[in-house]
Chain A
Amino acid sequence: MKIKAQFGMVMSLDKCIGCHTCSVTCNNTWTNRPGAEYMWWNNVETKPGIGYPKGWENQEKNNGGWTLKNGRLELKAGGRAKKLAQIFYNPDLNMIDDFYEPWTYDYETLIHSPEKKHQPVARPKSQLTGEYMELQWGPNWEDDLAGVHQTGKLDPNMRGLEEQVKLEYEEAFMMYLPRICEHCINPSCLSSCPSGAMYKRDEDGIVLVDQDACRSWRFCMSGCPYKKVYFNWQTKKAEKCTFCFPRIENGDPTICSETCVGRIRYIGIVLYDADRVEAAASVTNEQELYEAQLSLFLDPFDPEIIEQAKKDGIAEDWIEAAQQSPVYKMAVKQKIALPLHPEYRTLPMVWYVPPLSPIMNALEGQVDALDPKMMFPTIEQMRIPVQYLANLLSAGDEEVIKVVLKKMVIMRHVMRAKQLQKEYDSSLLHMTELSEEEIVDMYRLLAIGKYEDRYVIPKAHREQAGNMYFGQGIAGYDFMQNCHECMGGSGALEEEFEARWRKNYG
């Protein structure tokens, strides 16, 4: 056994209101630069829909993630030799138009317009060509189901629902899906990178692009099934969500989490057995991948695990953080959070609590929605089809979704009874395999969501790090264009830093 610690995030979709604050603050922090302006390391999609980039979930076309070839785990787009043979032209690459063509407006016309009969209009101008353009697609084009009567049919998660869901106004359903990089345990992006420029941090599992080592081979982008590696079209280098590592190292949540008004996000670490990763990602049945991934996670209270973790260099405060981790609680203990598209076999580490939704019209108003006995038969008649959620979060296994939704209904029932000092049917607890204490814990996390409960983030250990000054640039991105000179340029500053560092740590 080789124990590693890994950061993860849980998002409770039950609480997401689709306000895009996470996207905006992320963009302001990281991607508000030329060449990166089209990137939304964090984006919020309205589902159903084809998403960002268009059709990212269609792996028949994109060939992202892993697959089993003769029982062995292999990159879906092909192995190492095939990659090198395709290095001059990557047939699986998404184009910038699949995201959208970035544009600005000719604001000058508003300011410099002479007096006219009609108001001057600022027209959109492509940032790629500098020419006026007709907007055909853009960020959040599908927001709140816009155009879903066309794009909805192309959503791969609608598999098996074509008959049932007509995407008519009366039957329409929707939910929000905020997405960031999954910081997978078995990432296919960095496995696809021929130059080894992408890496997973040994200490905390954050996946980054070494900007200095990236040679623009662009296989990471097609390798990632979530399409969360982006291409800076000006620097010609790959960029991606950094899990806000400078904040995380300091014990602060990512900026998307910090600014989430719905308080839907939870950050914590889990301990996992790195020796069993490949085996877990290689189980034959796609629907068993979820349980296989859960089996990787180790009980941070188990004395043997604690001992082994210490041997593997995990510090005491990190083990404590693993014990308090909301990710461990929600994903492993309570089992209410599920991985996004486990069938991609990347063992993703952003987990989602599926949303409850109103009962379809036929039943609405007729039943007490919070009476679990009435609720269970109707979970299948919720507005968001269980099958749809299953296609998103459990490789199509509806049972997994039903169990989670039941737990959430029972939590509401139990907590309501407790608030009103009424009795509740204790056989309900039995059905969830959760104790009352755990139900209350779940309620505290989901409904109360105290800051310190949502974010249990152990600080990075300074003594583990080498010369951080020289680490600049290899840990994500640290530059604006042509900013080599920003740090002194003459080299004097570098030398001074190095001398100081050698004196203190060398």
Chain B
Amino acid sequence: MTLTLLDQFLWIVIPYMTLTIFVVGHIYRYQKDQFGWSAGSSQFLESRQLKWGSNLFHFGIILVFFGHVAGLLVPEGVYSTIGITKGLYHLGAVWIGGGAGIITLGGIIILAKRRGGNKRIRRGSSASDIVVLTALIFVIVSGFTNTIGYAVTGGDFDYRTTIGPWLRGILTFRPDAALMVGIPRGFQIHVIASFFLFAYWPFSRLVHVWSLPLEYLKRRYIVYRKLNSENVK
């Protein structure tokens, strides 16, 4: 199969551009903008809608993340080795994946409604907040649509033999654009939209994901610091 210039651009150039921006962008931002590196909570201004929106969205997206790891990064062969048949995988992907999708989608809808409908929140929104929200909605809706399609067609299109190997190829620097040519348009749109989100990530509030404070679980409660900040403990 011959690859057009567009195929090469979409499935090799864009991914590596995105990866570069993602990595370098994070390093740059972390060095230059500690002050801006935060979750940017707005709970202080509105809490009722946030309770549902934020909880649903965050717990949902965590499930979705692990779903993507299971579907894309774990090779199909692993499943057959441990005895998970295609039918069984399909069942899990549709029900668990679909469930996680509904939770996430519900959450982001509430959050979007809150950001647009609550005057305090709307007025306090930065342009970046709006871009992130719009991108997330687009990525989530396109992804969820694919899951529905996947369920309806009974897993006719198997991303585990196309998108999965392609993504692993990108990450291991053996890209093969051919794997992505001819896959359903919905999946293509979802992938490209995700790349936009990843490229924008380092410059948005999404960086708070990397600051999940797991060290708190081990830390002693009281923190002392000496005036000499080299002696921080």
Question: Which residues of A are interface residues toward B (Cβ below 8 A)?
Answer: 75, 80-81, 83-84, 87-91, 93, 95-96, 128-131, 186-187, 190-191, 193-196, 198-203, 211-218, 221, 231, 233-237, 277, 460-461, 464-467, 470-471, 473-474, 479, 484
Contacts and interface: CB of A to CB of B under 8 A. Distances in A.
B215 A196 contact: yes
The main secondary structure of chain A at its interface with chain B is loop
Given A199-B224, A234-B124, A218 B229 contact: no
Given A84-B216, A89-B50, A217-B39, A203 B45 contact: no
Interface stretch (B53-61, B132-140, B145-153): B53-61
Given A203-B226, A464-B227, A216 B219 contact: no
5 contacts: A91-B51, A190-B221, A202-B225, A233-B124, A466-B227
B38 interface: yes
Interface string B200-233: 0000000010011111110101111111111100
B187 interface: no
Given A191-B221, A471-B229, A484-B35, 11 more contacts: A80-B219, A87-B213, A88-B54, A88-B58, A190-B222, A190-B223, A199-B225, A202-B227, A216-B41, A236-B38, A237-B38
Nearest to B232: A199
B44 interface: yes
B16 interface: no
Interface of B: 33-35, 37-45, 47, 50-51, 54-55, 57-59, 119-120, 123-124, 208, 211-217, 219, 221-231
A130 B215 contact: no
Contacts, number: 141
A215 B217 contact: no
Given A89-B51, A198-B223, A128 B45 contact: yes
Contacts of B37: 215
Nearest to A185: B222
A214 B228 contact: no
A88 B59 contact: yes
Contact of B34 (A96, A186, A213, A277): A213
Given A196-B216, A234-B124, A473-B35, A93 B44 contact: yes
B230 to A, nearest CB: 5
A196 B223 CA distance: 7
Contact of B229 (A75, A129, A233, A470): A470
A395 to B, nearest CB: 22
Given A129-B123, A215-B208, A466 B228 contact: yes
Given A196-B215, A196-B216, A216 B208 contact: yes
Nearest to B123: A129
Contact of A215 (B39, B120, B227): B39
A466 B229 contact: yes
A203 B227 contact: yes
Contacts of B44: 93, 95-96, 218, 221, 231, 233
Nearest to B34: A212
A464 B231 CA distance: 10
A62 to B, nearest CB: 14
Nearest to A464: B227
A212 B35 contact: yes
B124 A215 contact: no
A193 B40 CA distance: 15
Those 5 A-B pairs whose CB atoms lie nearest each other, nearest first: A194-B213, A191-B221, A466-B228, A212-B34, A216-B38
B39 A216 contact: yes
A464 B55 contact: no
A313 B47 CA distance: 46
Contacts of B41: 216-218, 231, 236
B216 to A, nearest CB: 4
B225 A81 contact: no
Contacts of A461: 227
Contact of B217 (A84, A131, A190, A236): A84
A131 B227 contact: no
Given A199-B224, A465-B227, A84 B213 contact: yes
Given A88-B58, A93-B43, A195 B34 contact: no
